[in-house]
Structure 1
Amino acid sequence: MTNDEKPAGGGAAGGSNVTALNGAARGGDEQGARKALQHLTVEDLSTPAYLVNHKFQIEWANDHALAGIFARPDGLPRAIDDSSLFSLLLSSSVVRKADGLPELLKFHLAIAKKRASKTYLFLSNPDLGPRESELMGQLYDRVEPIGAHRMTSEVEVNLAPRGEEPRWHKLYATFFREGIFFTVAPDDREQESFLTWLARRDVVIRDLLRVRRPYVTPLAVLVADLQSSMRICAELPPEQYFELINSIWTTMQPYLRKYFATYGKHAGDGMLYYFLPQPDSDYLVNAICCAFEMQNAMRQVNRDWQRKKNWTKTLHLNIGLDQGEEWFGTFEGPTFIEFTALGDSINRAARLSDFCSDGAIWATKSMLSRLSEEDRARVRYGIRQTLANGTEAVVPEMYSRIGNLIDLDDPKYHKLGDISTLAATELFDIEGMERD
């Protein structure tokens, strides 16, 4: 089988870096080949390529994929929830006519089967007709799941319309923490350099994050700040302060990975992370569980620091949580790519972390209200109140406006003025959480 012929929209781009790389290699110019490879980007690919997240929604596709696979030359839908992979594949006139439709679907379903249940796939693709749903269900049951441990998987599919001369193409899936990158391999003359480039995983994913389109998505935001960090910084030698901050970040990383947190940024000693919808877990619950794991881990950091450094003060990590439906994308600098969301949820979570004290976790009423009734019943939350005798009590399952809990005329609370009317509550525990 050969893949000399390209599907519609997948013709080689004249003067591309892929072509230049192979020309240099065939001419024996190794230095030129290395230079061409160094400058190859996803935008230079002369065949279809698209990035799918772990909810199997398309986050980016090049023009060749839009025209030659999805038959959407005008682009993808604006909202990420309208970009479900299987809905777009099965609504494509190109894919529906392709002789290799079953093989194409089986390859994607084998990858999805390792990450999402059949129920989830049907719920996330509600526009499928009865015939498409039946085909999806049958193929899902028959395929063997493909895991990410293989780094890259491949399949050969015939993308020619049924009854026409076959056009065989090799489709690759490369697995990253941020998503799954599908690429149709170029012709035989360019495959070697293409595979060499694809193996440079750090370069490829950085490139994909750079070109990935911003999209509107539900998300949860977690902001964590070290309490009294200015005072701690002033009291410690610089090398010990950096040691402390690095210790906190390192300790938190396993829990952030466990609950699928996406790195936002570190502002000094603070942390900002996003929790995006996942196939078979609730992103809001993930954010809450992660906050409790971080709270518990910080207690251990404090004990270790007190023991090793003879530190007498108590270290606290204050955590604010909120949710929203925001534009989510990336900002690119010369040496970094930073995930960011545009909207009020980030500011509210940050202000809540400023409001917190002594390692508390606070969340907005809107966030808890969006939990299912069952999940909300698992969360123990409420408002602390000081009684007439001076003792403290918790009024369970209660919210309060932030402005009712502080003196807004006090200069130290002035920066909380913009959340004075925000309804929020303190979180104390969540039942059924798997703790390490």
Structure 2
Amino acid sequence: MARTGISRATLNNYIGLNLIPPPTVRKPEEVGGPTKIGYFPAWVVNRIDRIRQLKSEGMRMAQIVMQFMDEERKVLPAAPEPQPDLTYQWLEQIPFPAVLVNRSWEIIRSNHAAEDLLPTERVRGATSAVKNNFFAPFCIRGLMSGFTNWEDMLTPHIRLAKRDLSEDSLAQIYRGSEYHTEEEVMLLWRGAEPLDDRPFHHQTLVLKHFDGESRHCTLFSSALREGTLLLYVPIHMQLDRILDQLMGTVELFRSVLSREGPSHIPLCILAARLESDLHLRTALPPAEYFDLINQIILTSHQCFKKHGATPARSFQEGVVGFFLAADDSPQDYLFRALACGHSLQRMIGDLDRKWKYKQAWSNTLRLNIGVHCGHEWAGTVPSALAFEFTVVGDTLMETIKLSEFSKKGAIWASKKVIENLSPSERERVEFGIRLGVYQERFVSPNIYSPVKELLSRDELEGGGLLPISNLAVTEVVNVFP
């Protein structure tokens, strides 16, 4: 800025219009100054001087953007034959409109079902950031021309976007635009209350077409690594299946379901079962019992989502979560499973306190948790959402049995899980076996034991635990962040 004499606002405007690239942020070589500095390529100074010259000749910013695009187009080599992009192929398997946007609310990909909902035209000469933005002027004009209540449709999206965008960044999209929609959108923006930072939300939408047709749907949104997934679900579809989709399944589809056929993958499984469910069933009226189970499942799924897991179908009074290796950190899925179990203990503790206050009873809600890992075949089976993740193999059965072995809300993990942690991760896990008459209070640290050494023969047979009798296990007492 010192060399060119432009303001920070002008600099950000040029970056937003793709006239210059964003800076590369790194630590400066000199000590004692700022901890981070943004560095621009040397040619940016000449580009800013050229922009200043063109503006002095009377050119508007939109014309300047067009001129630089034309110049760059002339020197670009011929584009190669486009190849099919399978990265987001899973979006096409969703049977209702689905749109994936990044943190700047640029549309990464939408499926064919979304074409009737969102305009697909592109403005010649618009920068990529403007051209693909959900709030791009031409997109707003498309909503205006297609729906009589376009403001009501746009407002729920604004409430979501206000978690990612500032008013200034939205205003940059409209700079130099030939569409005069900025005033209406800004008015909606200022009047909309931002949603809280939960991993998923649902809002009701009414689509009123100019031909008089009206459709009701639910806008579900889920926070993903890339940004936000928007699902426009017909109002009659089952809520619980959509929640399963939002609470982690998409992350799994990207890494597993893009491959043809089943995949043999490493995974870690967490199974949690409600203790004393028969006693609770008799203590509560049916409506309240199902309300309790739904709260436990929803709480568990929220915890799975937070730790990057995918929930499976619930089994009786229990839940299952699958942890897969992530592309950016392929080794942390085992620790994520243990951390999830520890978080789940605290969340169920909070739920227990609420129900104690609500019912004025002495019952204690506990989830007995088992964590195990292995390599299994993973694939899909048909479901109401056209696909559902499933695992075939012994690991799932053994994990569920391990949760049945667990008592009093404890977390039990197999030796295989602990031993495959990295050294730094293992230091953050406190584990061991409770021994002797003081086992309620004393844990012999860092040891394992086969299940058959911790139970009598009658307990093994009566509890149906013979399949895991030789499995070496340990109790996870604490997991440190």
**TM-score of the two chains, using structure 2 as the length reference:** 0.49
Code of the residue aligned with 1:316 in structure 2: it is R
**Superposition deviation, residue 180 in structure 1:** 7.5
Q: Distance in 2 between matches of 1:271 and 1:199?
A: 26
Question: Given that residues 386 and 392 in structure 1 are in contact (C-alpha distance below 8 angstroms), is that contact kept between their aligned partners in structure 2?
Answer: no
Structure 1 residue 364 corresponds to structure 2 residue 422: no
Q: Distance in 2 between matches of 1:222 and 1:351?
A: 11
1:289-321 Cα shifts (integer Å, max 9, x gaps): 110000011111111101111121111101100
Deviates more, 1:353-362 or 1:321-330: 321-330
Q: Distance in 2 between matches of 1:199 and 1:414?
A: 45
Residue of structure 1 equivalent to 2:469: 420
Q: What are the within-5 Å matches in structure 2 for residues 94-133 of structure 1?
A: none
**Superposition deviation, residue 392 in structure 1:** 4.8
Q: CA 1:369/1:173 → structure 2, altered by over 3 Å: closer, same or farther?
A: farther
Q: CA 1:424/1:59 → structure 2, altered by over 3 Å: closer, same or farther?
A: farther
Q: What are the within-5 Å matches in structure 2 for residues 35-74 of structure 1?
A: 48-51=84-87
Residue of structure 1 equivalent to 2:275: 227
Residue of structure 1 equivalent to 2:294: 246
Q: Distance in 1 between matches of 2:303 and 2:133?
A: 28
Residue of structure 1 equivalent to 2:443: 394
Question: Given that residues 106 and 132 in structure 2 are in contact (C-alpha distance below 8 angstroms), is that contact kept between their aligned partners in structure 1?
Answer: no
**Superposition deviation, residue 397 in structure 1:** 0.4
Question: Given that residues 433 and 447 in structure 2 are in contact (C-alpha distance below 8 angstroms), is that contact kept between their aligned partners in structure 1?
Answer: yes
**Superposition deviation, residue 253 in structure 1:** 3.4
**Superposition deviation, residue 394 in structure 1:** 1.1
Structure 2 unaligned residues grouped into runs of 5+: 1-69, 71-77, 94-99, 110-127, 135-220, 235-244
Instruction: Using CA pairs under 8 Å that are at least 6 residues apart, name the structure with larger relative contact order, 1 or 2.
Output: 1
Q: Distance in 1 between matches of 2:295 and 2:323?
A: 23
Q: CA 1:149/1:399 → structure 2, altered by over 3 Å: closer, same or farther?
A: farther
**Residue 147 of structure 1: which of 102, 109, 117 is its match?**
102
Question: Given that residues 265 and 339 in structure 1 are in contact (C-alpha distance below 8 angstroms), is that contact kept between their aligned partners in structure 2?
Answer: no
RMSD across aligned C-alpha pairs, in angstroms?
Answer: 4.1
**Superposition deviation, residue 251 in structure 1:** 2.5
Question: Given that residues 434 and 440 in structure 2 are in contact (C-alpha distance below 8 angstroms), is that contact kept between their aligned partners in structure 1?
Answer: no
Tell me the SS of whatever aligns to 1:252. helix
Residue of structure 2 equivalent to 1:70: none
Residue of structure 2 equivalent to 1:121: none
Q: Distance in 2 between matches of 1:291 and 1:261?
A: 11
Residue of structure 2 equivalent to 1:327: 377
**Residue 355 of structure 2: which of 305, 311, 328 is its match?**
305
1:295-351 Cα shifts (integer Å, max 9, x gaps): 011111111101111121111101100111222222213566331122221111101
Q: Distance in 1 between matches of 2:106 and 2:378?
A: 26
Tell me the SS of whatever aligns to 1:330. strand
Q: CA 1:251/1:147 → structure 2, altered by over 3 Å: closer, same or farther?
A: same
Structure 1 residue 290 corresponds to structure 2 residue 330: no
Tell me the SS of whatever aligns to 1:403. helix
Q: Distance in 2 between matches of 1:270 and 1:173?
A: 42
**Residue 306 of structure 2: which of 237, 242, 258 is its match?**
258
Q: CA 1:177/1:236 → structure 2, altered by over 3 Å: closer, same or farther?
A: same
Question: Given that residues 301 and 311 in structure 2 are in contact (C-alpha distance below 8 angstroms), is that contact kept between their aligned partners in structure 1?
Answer: no
Tell me the SS of whatever aligns to 2:390. strand
**Superposition deviation, residue 286 in structure 1:** 0.8
Q: Distance in 2 between matches of 1:349 and 1:59?
A: 29
1:94-132 Cα shifts (integer Å, max 9, x gaps): xxxxxxxxxxxxxxxxx9xxxxxxxxxxxxxxxxxxxxx
**Superposition deviation, residue 48 in structure 1:** 2.2
Q: Distance in 1 between matches of 2:454 and 2:403?
A: 15
Code of the residue aligned with 1:229 in structure 2: it is D
Q: What are the within-5 Å matches in structure 2 for residues 338-357 of structure 1?
A: 338-357=388-407
Q: CA 1:172/1:329 → structure 2, altered by over 3 Å: closer, same or farther?
A: farther
Tell me the SS of whatever aligns to 1:150. coil
Code of the residue aligned with 1:277 in structure 2: it is A
Question: Given that residues 402 and 423 in structure 1 are in contact (C-alpha distance below 8 angstroms), is that contact kept between their aligned partners in structure 2?
Answer: yes
Q: CA 1:61/1:295 → structure 2, altered by over 3 Å: closer, same or farther?
A: same
Question: Given that residues 429 and 476 in structure 2 are in contact (C-alpha distance below 8 angstroms), is that contact kept between their aligned partners in structure 1?
Answer: yes
Q: Distance in 2 between matches of 1:149 and 1:255?
A: 26
Residue of structure 2 equivalent to 1:403: 452
Structure 1 residue 317 corresponds to structure 2 residue 367: yes
Question: Given that residues 102 and 108 in structure 2 are in contact (C-alpha distance below 8 angstroms), is that contact kept between their aligned partners in structure 1?
Answer: no
**Residue 215 of structure 1: which of 263, 267, 276 is its match?**
263
Tell me the SS of whatever aligns to 2:447. coil
Q: CA 1:329/1:178 → structure 2, altered by over 3 Å: closer, same or farther?
A: farther
Q: Distance in 2 between matches of 1:211 and 1:255?
A: 25
**Superposition deviation, residue 177 in structure 1:** 6.2
Q: Distance in 2 between matches of 1:395 and 1:317?
A: 23
Question: Given that residues 103 and 226 in structure 2 are in contact (C-alpha distance below 8 angstroms), is that contact kept between their aligned partners in structure 1?
Answer: no
Share of identical aligned residues, percent?
Answer: 31
**Superposition deviation, residue 61 in structure 1:** 11
**TM-score of the two chains, using structure 1 as the length reference:** 0.54
Q: Distance in 1 between matches of 2:332 and 2:474?
A: 20
Q: CA 1:243/1:147 → structure 2, altered by over 3 Å: closer, same or farther?
A: same
Q: What are the within-5 Å matches in structure 2 for residues 11-50 of structure 1?
A: 48-50=84-86
Q: Distance in 1 between matches of 2:230 and 2:335?
A: 35
Q: Distance in 1 between matches of 2:367 and 2:230?
A: 39
- Say how many residue pairs are matched: 274
Q: CA 1:383/1:226 → structure 2, altered by over 3 Å: closer, same or farther?
A: same
Q: Distance in 1 between matches of 2:475 and 2:230?
A: 47
Question: Given that residues 361 and 426 in structure 1 are in contact (C-alpha distance below 8 angstroms), is that contact kept between their aligned partners in structure 2?
Answer: yes
Q: Which protein shows a greater Rg?
A: 2
Question: Given that residues 265 and 338 in structure 1 are in contact (C-alpha distance below 8 angstroms), is that contact kept between their aligned partners in structure 2?
Answer: no
Tell me the SS of whatever aligns to 1:289. helix
Q: CA 1:320/1:247 → structure 2, altered by over 3 Å: closer, same or farther?
A: same
Q: CA 1:262/1:429 → structure 2, altered by over 3 Å: closer, same or farther?
A: same
Q: Distance in 1 between matches of 2:361 and 2:463?
A: 31
